[in-house]
């Protein structure tokens, strides 16, 4: 019984924190029933708990409250700018300006490693930002470009700082770390951009599941996000279909403003 409970407690760490206690209590009660009826199936039952825990983790909607330092576009760029400045100052402390870098100059090196990461990012995540209204495209693309520039800057100089701390040469292992870091940074920038209101560029809140998987071909199934300022709703399909290939934005006119205080 102790081994089986240990298996359930291990699987419980995969469940989202707010649902973990209830999930563990339910599975522990079912384990007690399995032990009384057919003890031979207890191990298989506990192994099935891992699949259920992974399903709950996969289908748990994102956090309802975004991080305060990333919520608005000004705070997001300000936070990334502070981190980038800290990485640059540390790089000046550890590396002399005359020290040779992987490519001619840090800017060329940063751009070169960023371009190398683009095909990998395209292979692991969608590059589409969704269907949005045509107005204010310039402001959205400017924010997206600034965000990418800052995260690439942070990854490049952050890896150089880390290499100096552990004593690695600049032309050795850090090159691969920069590439992997750029992949993660570009993927985060895409996901973050898709989760923002196209009008005010604030992170969307209050995710809600709509529909069930069995109705995917008949009705819409996915997650609905809402702009806290009342600009509109974002519909993100869980499974892309012919009718809903990508996420779409639904603008709300001024008559809805009274619901958003």
pLDDT over 70 (residue 247): yes
Predicted local confidence at residue 226, as pLDDT = 85
Lowest mean pLDDT among 22-26, 74-78, 239-243: 239-243
Give Cα separations from 184 to 3, 77, 131, 178, 200 (angstroms): 37, 18, 24, 10, 25
Task: Give the E-state strand segments of the chain in sequence order.
Answer: 205-210, 222-226, 232-237, 248-251
pLDDT digit string, tens, across residues 23-69: 888 888 888 887 777 777 788 888 888 888 887 776 665 554 566 77
Of 2 and 229, the structure prediction assigns the larger pLDDT to 229
Confidence bin at 103 (pLDDT 50/70/90): very low
- pLDDT confidence tier of residue 109, bands split at 50, 70 and 90: low
Instruction: Output the pLDDT for position 70.
Output: 84
> What mean pLDDT comes out for the span 74-78?
92
Confidence of residue 82 (pLDDT cuts 50, 70, 90): very high
**The pTM is what?**
0.67
The more confidently predicted of residues 115 and 144 is: 144
**Where in the chain are the domains?**
2-58, 73-194, 205-259
- Report the Cα 127 to chain-centroid distance in Å: 14
Q: What percent of the chain has pLDDT over 90?
A: 8
pLDDT at 107 over 50: yes
Residues β-bridged to residue 244: none
The first and second tokens of residue 130, run together, are 């969704």
What's the pLDDT score for residue 41? 78
Separation between Cα atoms, residue 247 and residue 18, nearest integer Å: 27
Kindly indicate the confidence band of residue 80, based on its pLDDT and cuts at 50, 70 and 90: very high
Q: Classify residue 154 as exposed, middle or buried by CB count within 10 Å of its CB (0-12, 13-18, 19+).
A: buried
Distance separating alpha carbons of residues 200 and 178, to the nearest angstrom: 32
Cβ neighbours around 89 below 10 Å, total:
12
Q: Residues 100-122: what's their mean pLDDT?
A: 69
Please enumerate, as own/partner, the contacts of 201-206 that have beta carbons within 8 Å and a separation of 24 or more.
201/72, 201/73, 201/139, 201/140, 201/143, 202/71, 202/72, 202/73, 202/227, 202/228, 202/229, 203/66, 203/70, 203/71, 204/66, 204/228, 204/234, 205/64, 205/65, 205/66, 206/64
Chain-wide mean pLDDT for the chain?
Answer: 77
């Amino acid at each position: 019984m102790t081994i089986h409970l240990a298996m359930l407690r291990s699987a419980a760490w995969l469940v989202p924190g707010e649902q973990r206690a209830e999930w563990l209590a339910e599975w522990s009660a079912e384990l007690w029933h399995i032990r009384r009826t057919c003890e031979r199936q207890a191990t298989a039952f506990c192994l099935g708990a891992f699949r259920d825990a992974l399903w709950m983790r996969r289908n748990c909607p994102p956090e309802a409250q975004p991080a305060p330092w990333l919520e608005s576009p000004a705070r997001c760029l300000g936070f990334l700018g502070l981190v980038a400045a800290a990485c640059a100052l540390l790089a000046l402390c550890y590396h002399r300006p005359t020290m040779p870098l992987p490519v001619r100059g840090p800017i060329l090196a940063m751009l070169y490693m960023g371009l190398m990461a683009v095909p990998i990012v395209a292979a692991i995540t969608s590059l589409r930002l969704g269907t949005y209204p045509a107005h204010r495209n310039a402001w959205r693309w400017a924010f997206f470009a600034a965000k990418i520039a800052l995260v690439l800057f942070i990854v490049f100089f952050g890896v150089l700082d880390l290499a100096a701390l552990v004593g690695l040469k600049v032309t050795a292992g850090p090159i691969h770390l920069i590439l992997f870091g750029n992949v993660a940074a570009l993927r985060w920038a895409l996901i973050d951009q898709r989760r923002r209101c196209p009008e005010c560029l604030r992170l969307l809140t209050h995710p809600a599941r709509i529909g069930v998987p069995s109705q995917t071909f008949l009705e819409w199934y996915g997650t609905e996000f809402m702009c806290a300022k009342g600009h509109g709703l974002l519909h993100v399909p869980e499974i892309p279909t012919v009718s809903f290939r990508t996420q779409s934005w639904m603008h709300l006119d001024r008559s809805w403003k009274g619901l958003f205080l």
